[in-house]
Structure 1
């Protein structure tokens, strides 16, 4: 088929949801609409407001089509989320993965989940293992679970709502779910033992067209009735797509948003540590990708609520006065999951610039620790909001000793998702090189941070 020129990417992140229009010839963003991704607290448990998101998606598709035209729709979402379907309705709400309900069944779940050697998926808190969510829902809400006919990973839930076609897909099945065995390229033994395998629809490639938009939705939005919709992809893996095949040797992508996720394509999985939030993701071609991550965006917002661009004097003072942030401010995740979070100086005594500098250096140091687990490629490309944080990138270049560049695109996630259509060029803008940070005392500052982080 002729690749679509204008592609609407539905991009549902944990914090915000967007519909972004991408030019399929240039990779440029043409227009975008966004809304907070709110969590509802009523009902069985905290859950996604799927109906508000659905109304936002349809309204955005209609307005973007009216203003610019839409020739195709692609989908990407955060992981650790699934829709449990009873035929053509939700059997129960879409669980918020930050809800601690699954921890109630932690002991029982620990007896059935696969070994790390099989799943390359570490045991994570709350609902960050999708298998733990499903297990808890089955145990806690057995009557509702008995009506489940299909388990749809999150991108594929929205694809079903658009096309009426139910599908599974490996990037969402393989992102720290316990449901997938990356090396064997099939479901984990737990899925078979628990009887869930019959609930997963046929696996489709992420880069495939499930079908055309449903006639009723075409009428609502004004889109053509033959507008194609892709199967969809996990958001971190969408960030990889523009780079797959574009680099020689191993390379590292840092996909940032609520999470900072370090993925080294062509790297080895041998240094992964199941106790330190490192794992193997599965790329769009089904290949294991060593990965380590922490909630970098969430921590930045918590620690630097009035962030500004720090001046040279701010950076020099933070390093010279040994002002440090120590992990971990979102407990239970990242390479220091049990770290006793603290500042070495009361942050209220700092100016906004000094505080932003200290937090940016902290994020770079935690990222380096992630790279010790996932491996560091011959070059690093930063995607998403942290690509705009110059100090973070400069510090990372010094810490790793390899070239670091900031993506020139607003987010590699939407660009990558648009590339699920065959023939679409992920050209976008050239990454911007980031010079290493050259400030007296930085090496000693980092050495002290590493000593404190490991002692806390």
Structure 2
């Protein structure tokens, strides 16, 4: 197997990535915005537009390089409802929609305890169970129209192969629908009237099936092109290390969300009030995790149009310009707090340095909340942010590494199709020369927080 096409749908962008099987490096990447449509009946994603985009570029990838297999990874807190004919029973709700908050008390009376699901109570539709509960309430016929519930990666697999399933990582992503310790559905599935409707889960590296004839005809791919079951995106970032590295370590998946996942760390009691949860990895095992909406916070605060210079970093450290949490107060380890500056930065570049420090300090907080030990491996966009990595390296005694691939989620998803033999290459982040000053800044931030 040489080339794997990866459908990679994040909260912000939908991508199709062609990955080299021997190196897990990206050969080609095409992107379209994951725009939320306003409705009716509720804010939802452009699934049809994504599908046309994927088919078009699968054809192009195959003409230019050849496609030997397809894998899928998507953001969590998402499922697609299908009717008896296999068509959409309703548009796929955007999990940031505030509608489910209107029925929070009724939903709280239904959902299982955190001790059972490892799933904290989250705002809006971030608990998939809350989405389903709200949609069934505002569209009373929807429950009866719904014949099948597929977690999001497997919706794309269904369009490709006609086969229906869920995967354990997506069910284990704060849905309230899964029990990580016992590896089975929670009582909420029955309470929502979905017994027998949620597709049976499989492991992400299973082969879901092969291309439908019409998909093969539209793309030019071979009919026997295998399609993997697929995986939740943060777990895609974790997967290469899970199968290729000795514990303990932690993987930090960065994108719209920054998610810290601890493997082989100290035993901790997760604190759901601080957005600490139990994810489920690709092997079906529980993984203590903590997260915050770091990519969204970056977009909200960033001002610079150019790379900050050494003097910008020095000025921020000297002036102690700090962001105190939280930029997005609905999630993360400091929920309910309002962002504030200790002192205003003097330029856009200084603003961006202080922002990078804030994101690093929030990341380190998540690392500690999960009981993580060993090196911290950073995947995704923040793995290319110099100031972020400098702060992390200064305050992380066990070291920081970065993935050399540009899109860690795509590499991990491709590995599902490759099996053994390929490794995710990392680079060690050197401790910076101003580490003592960075540590002093971090200590003051912690005291102020």
CA apart distance, 1:194:
2.9
Q: Are 1:444 and 2:440 matched, yes or no? A: yes
Q: Is the 8 A contact 1:212 1:227 kept in 2?
A: yes
1:168-195 Cα shifts (integer Å, max 9, x gaps): 1100000111111101111112223333
Among 122, 126, 129, the residue aligned to 1:128: 126
Q: Is the 8 A contact 2:95 2:126 kept in 1?
A: yes
Q: Is the 8 A contact 1:325 1:362 kept in 2?
A: yes
Q: Are 1:179 and 2:177 matched, yes or no? A: yes
Q: Distance in 1 between matches of 2:167 and 2:419?
A: 20
- Secondary structure in 1 matching 2:316: helix
Mapping for residues 34-53 of structure 1, pairs under 5 Å: 34-53=31-50
Q: Distance in 2 between matches of 1:417 and 1:307?
A: 32
Q: Distance in 1 between matches of 2:352 and 2:406?
A: 21
Q: Distance in 2 between matches of 1:439 and 1:430?
A: 22
Match of 1:213 in 2: 211
Q: Are 1:357 and 2:331 matched, yes or no? A: no
Match of 2:97 in 1: 99
TM-score scaled by structure 2? 0.96
- Secondary structure in 2 matching 1:178: coil
Q: Are 1:76 and 2:70 matched, yes or no? A: no
Q: Distance in 1 between matches of 2:407 and 2:430?
A: 17
- Secondary structure in 1 matching 2:378: strand
Match of 1:20 in 2: 17
Which one is further off, 208-217 or 429-438? 429-438
Q: Is the 8 A contact 1:6 1:70 kept in 2?
A: yes
Q: Are 1:57 and 2:54 matched, yes or no? A: yes
- Secondary structure in 2 matching 1:96: coil
Match of 1:113 in 2: 111
Match of 1:294 in 2: 292
Structure 2, unmatched stretches of 5+, are none
Q: 1:452 to 1:433 in 2, by over 3 A?
A: closer
1:5-36 Cα shifts (integer Å, max 9, x gaps): 11100000000111111111221211111111
CA apart distance, 1:356:
1.2
- Secondary structure in 2 matching 1:57: helix
Q: Distance in 2 between matches of 1:436 and 1:296?
A: 23
Say what the alpha-carbon RMSD is for the aligned residues: 1.5
Q: 1:259 to 1:431 in 2, by over 3 A?
A: same
Q: Distance in 2 between matches of 1:14 and 1:101?
A: 18
Which one is further off, 171-180 or 185-194? 185-194
Match of 2:29 in 1: 32
Q: Distance in 2 between matches of 1:161 and 1:439?
A: 51
1:354-380 Cα shifts (integer Å, max 9, x gaps): 111100110111111111211222111
Q: Are 1:412 and 2:411 matched, yes or no? A: no
Q: Distance in 1 between matches of 2:330 and 2:90?
A: 27
Mapping for residues 371-410 of structure 1, pairs under 5 Å: 371-410=367-406
Which one is further off, 158-167 or 413-422? 413-422
Match of 1:154 in 2: 152
Q: 1:93 to 1:205 in 2, by over 3 A?
A: same
Q: Is the 8 A contact 2:257 2:294 kept in 1?
A: yes
- Secondary structure in 1 matching 2:250: strand
Mapping for residues 310-329 of structure 1, pairs under 5 Å: 310-329=308-327
Q: Distance in 2 between matches of 1:346 and 1:395?
A: 20
Q: Distance in 2 between matches of 1:300 and 1:15?
A: 13
Q: Is the 8 A contact 1:391 1:437 kept in 2?
A: no
- Secondary structure in 2 matching 1:90: coil
Q: Distance in 2 between matches of 1:45 and 1:24?
A: 40
Q: Distance in 2 between matches of 1:151 and 1:412?
A: 28
Q: 1:73 to 1:18 in 2, by over 3 A?
A: same
Q: 1:203 to 1:317 in 2, by over 3 A?
A: same
CA apart distance, 1:418:
0.6
Q: Structure 1 segments of 4 or more deviating over 4 A? A: none
Mapping for residues 223-242 of structure 1, pairs under 5 Å: 223-242=221-240
CA apart distance, 1:241:
1.1
CA apart distance, 1:92:
0.7
